[in-house]
Amino acid sequence: MRIQVLTRLLFVSVVLVGGVTVASAQDTLRPEISSWGIDGNAKGGESFIAWANVSDASSGVQNVSLIVQPNVGPRLEYPLESNGTLFANTIPPLEFNHTHTLFIKAFDMANNSATSYSRVIDRRPVTNTTIDPAVTAPVVIGSSLVLMVIVITGAWLYDRRNIRRNLAPASSSSVS
């Protein structure tokens, strides 16, 4: 009976079949995603290139995909094409008014999988309105003064009308 010592990447399973010992090596380690990124203006709503450096020393890399998970809606998967250990592909623009979580998912030939860290791209509109006091102060002060004049004039006319009513002689009705 011969037993082989395999590297740390392989798992040895021994099966007894009809009195014959068969050793089979099985890959149990996931592929390695050493780095990944995006090139282009994904946040600006343009197409971009997603790339990942993935390797698997034991059984080889089967496939690599960019996973895009919007905050609302279905998860999208974009396969990356291989150029040795570098996988890349052009990805269509991300939807506006959503936050998107992006990460890499890789499988090796033994169907072990690895998932990278995620990146978030926020395509929601920015709502930080900057107020410039040099522009808004004259408008606010001017409109407040105009409103003040209108209210004071209205109050003065109202009082004047009531004063005339009170000063008018009462009509006398004399019965003779």
Residue 14 predicted with pLDDT over 90? no
Lowest average pLDDT, out of 102-106, 153-157, 162-166, goes to: 162-166
- Reported pTM: 0.60
Residue 139: pLDDT band (50, 70, 90) is confident
Q: What is the mean pLDDT of residues 149-165?
A: 87
The answer to whether 39 touches 86, Cβ cutoff 8 Å, is: no
**Which is nearest to 9 in space by CA: 122, 112, 118, 140?**
112
Would you state the pLDDT for residue 51?
Answer: 97
**Which is nearest to 23 in space by CA: 47, 52, 49, 2?**
2
Residue 129: pLDDT band (50, 70, 90) is confident
Q: Which token pair is 42?
A: 């994904």
* Average pLDDT value for the chain: 83
User: What gap in Å lies between CA 32 and CA 155, rounded to an integer?
Assistant: 80
